[in-house]
Amino acid sequence: MQDSRNSNPTKDTEEPKTGAGFGPIGLIWPIALALVLIVAALDAGSIVGAFDLDPDGVEAAWLTKGLTALFWFAAAFAAQRWLRVLLWTGIVEARSGVPAPGLLIDMSAALIYVAALIIVLSFVFDLPVTGLLTTSSIVIAVIGFALRGMISDLFTGVALGVERPFSIGDWVELNDGTVGKVVMMNWRATRLLTKEETTVIISNSELATGRFKNYSTPDRFFRDEIEILLDYSVTAWRAERLLKSAIWSVQEVVDVPRESEVRIKEFTESGTVWLVRFWIPDYGSLHRLRYEVQRAILRNMHFSGVHVPAQRIEWRSLPREAPQRDIDFLHAIDLIAPLTDEEILVINDQMTQHLFKRGVPVVSQGEAGHSLFVVKEGMLSVFVAGADGRETRVGSLIPGAFFGELSLLTGAPRGATVVPEVDSVGFEITKNTLAPILQRRPELAERLSETLAERQMRTREAFAALDAETGIERRASLSEEFLKGIKKFFGI
């Protein structure tokens, strides 16, 4: 049986390519030919003598001129090949990743051959070339003028290919404000695809002569910023809590390995202008993530009772009444929603406001507690310890979220450790505040147990593992279990 590895006898002897379409032999033999021709031209007398002709005669002279002319053309042939290998393939193609334009390769080869022809006519055959040079110059000038745009684009394309200021997939912004993703590049033009799904084609010469921004280098992520005006009644610490926690609530922004920041830009008649600077992983997600940050800021302002000041100075003279300042905030908490307005007002009057310092645990897993905490400003992380004692971050709490409901309603130990990521503000609602309400309305315990069971089912992600019927049964069982615990804890 014939070995399949030897079935193609020419495969192992195939000449390696240089990238210009020919191998090393294709580069060496033109030089060797030129050397042979120049040696022959210098020794033309001996060659003529071998044929019994006069070494100093006209035959020897013409042979010398002919061999010299052939030498120059052979040298030109070798020069254009080496130029193609060293410049067009070795530099341009190697750096740009695409072959150099054929027109430029052909033009450079033509110039070399024309130079060789002029040398042969002028120095070998002693012919006047002034007229030829003049005519050639005029022809070249006419052709160059007619093709000036194309030639400019080609040379600029070569420069862009070597320098590589952008690549396919990069997001760039042109001088006129057009922003698009680079989807195609050639030696004449570059094609961009905008976020509106329209195509913009710009010549390379325009790109080279104008300024443009590349949002994808040196890294694909970059910094964005938005401005927001806050009233002078909002302290710097409070503004930082609101704005930083909004940034940190957008996970894609947090994942970028750069630090976001909040700064004061200026002071105006209406209030303080704040700069919110955050990092975008890729320009393609700019508008979506900017909206996510803006929405998070709006949510934090809503729960904190902070408003953008109006353009009238009268706005500052309309402070909210202290007893009413958090009524709307409490109505948004689903655990408190079953209460009446009067009962919520009682909680509003008796709950305690706390400032949670960054990094200092508010509650620790396993410790005793009889209170519920509601986040008003800032952001907190939730950690749960496993069997090995190692804590794992399982979630985050943003304004409007609450924790400690099991401790408040059943007296159970704290189920997690909660640590502020930034200085935060929250309210504490204790058993002593809720007890009189449940004593007056025992039926409220059933509503609270149902809400508690629903929240626990979501927390444990039980619905992901149970079918609908089993999930309903489990929720009912939890609700009954919590109802017994609430009644026992509050003595109702």
* CATH (domain of 197): 2.30.30.60
Position 282 in a domain: yes
Distance, CA of 411 to CA of 369 (rounded, Å): 7
Using pLDDT thresholds of 50, 70 and 90, give the confidence band for residue 28: confident
Question: Within this chain, do residues 330 and 479 fall inside the same structural domain, yes or no?
Answer: yes
Q: What does pTM read for this prediction?
A: 0.56
Using pLDDT thresholds of 50, 70 and 90, give the confidence band for residue 246: very high
Mean pLDDT of all residues in 216-227: 90
In angstroms, the Cα distances linking 280 to 168, 250, 421 are 19, 11, 21
The DSSP annotation for 333-357 comes to -TTTTTS-HHHHHHHHHH-EEEEEP
Apex CA 241: angle with CA 237 and CA 242, to 5°? 120
Contact 420, 374 (CB under 8 A): no
| Distance between start and end Cα atoms, the chain | 95
Using pLDDT thresholds of 50, 70 and 90, give the confidence band for residue 151: low
Structure tokens at 346: 């009682």
CATH number of the domain encompassing residue 272? 3.30.70.100
Q: What is the pLDDT of residue 304?
A: 85
Using pLDDT thresholds of 50, 70 and 90, give the confidence band for residue 318: very low
Position 43 in a domain: yes
Mean pLDDT lowest for which of 29-43, 194-208, 405-419, 437-451? 29-43
Q: How far out from the chain centre does Cα 4 lie?
A: 49
Q: What is the pLDDT of residue 145?
A: 63
Question: Within this chain, do residues 299 and 344 fall inside the same structural domain, yes or no?
Answer: no
DSSP bridge partners of 9: none
Residue 308: CB atoms within 10 A of its CB come to 13
Question: Within this chain, do residues 110 and 186 fall inside the same structural domain, yes or no?
Answer: no
Position 258 in a domain: yes
Question: Within this chain, do residues 353 and 208 fall inside the same structural domain, yes or no?
Answer: no
Q: Which of 430, 472, 482 is nearest to 452 (CA)?
A: 482
Residue 318: strand, helix, or coil: coil
What single-letter DSSP state applies at residue 274? E
Using pLDDT thresholds of 50, 70 and 90, give the confidence band for residue 478: confident
* Percent residues over pLDDT 70 in the chain: 76
pLDDT per position as a tens digit, 86-137: 877 777 676 666 666 666 777 788 888 888 888 888 887 877 777 666 776 7
> Is residue 295 within a helix (H) or strand (E), and if so which, with residue range?
helix 286-304
Position 111 in a domain: yes
Question: Within this chain, do residues 71 and 126 fall inside the same structural domain, yes or no?
Answer: yes
Position 461 in a domain: yes
Using pLDDT thresholds of 50, 70 and 90, give the confidence band for residue 5: very low
The last residue of one of the domains, among 146, 177, 196, is 146
Q: What is the pLDDT of residue 286?
A: 92
Position 287 in a domain: yes
Distance, CA of 4 to CA of 7 (rounded, Å): 5
Question: Within this chain, do residues 39 and 101 fall inside the same structural domain, yes or no?
Answer: yes
Question: Within this chain, do residues 349 and 481 fall inside the same structural domain, yes or no?
Answer: yes
Residue 382: strand, helix, or coil: strand
The edge-to-edge listing of strands for the beta sheet with 199-203 is 199-203, 189-193, 179-185, 171-173, 213-214
The last residue of one of the domains, among 292, 312, 332, is 312
Apex CA 22: angle with CA 21 and CA 23, to 5°? 135
Question: Within this chain, do residues 117 and 258 fall inside the same structural domain, yes or no?
Answer: no
Does pLDDT of 214 surpass 50?
yes
* Percent residues over pLDDT 90 in the chain: 25
The last residue of one of the domains, among 312, 341, 366, is 312
Position 49 in a domain: yes
Question: Within this chain, do residues 330 and 466 fall inside the same structural domain, yes or no?
Answer: yes
Contact 404, 424 (CB under 8 A): no
Mean pLDDT of all residues in 330-342: 83
Question: Within this chain, do residues 253 and 396 fall inside the same structural domain, yes or no?
Answer: no
Contact 432, 376 (CB under 8 A): no
Question: Within this chain, do residues 336 and 365 fall inside the same structural domain, yes or no?
Answer: yes
Is there a cis peptide before residue 9, judged by omega within 30 degrees of 0? no
What's the structural domain count of the chain?
A: 4
Apex CA 205: angle with CA 204 and CA 209, to 5°? 120
| Count helices and strands in the chain by DSSP H and E runs | 17, 15
Domain hosting 416: range is 323-490
Question: Within this chain, do residues 48 and 136 fall inside the same structural domain, yes or no?
Answer: yes
Distance, CA of 197 to CA of 252 (rounded, Å): 24
Contact 180, 200 (CB under 8 A): yes
Q: Average pLDDT over the chain, rounded to whole?
A: 79
The DSSP annotation for 184-228 comes to EE-SSEEEEE-TTS-EEEEEHHHHHHS--EETTSS-S-EEEEEEE
Q: Residue 416 burial (CB < 10 Å; 0-12/13-18/19+)?
A: buried
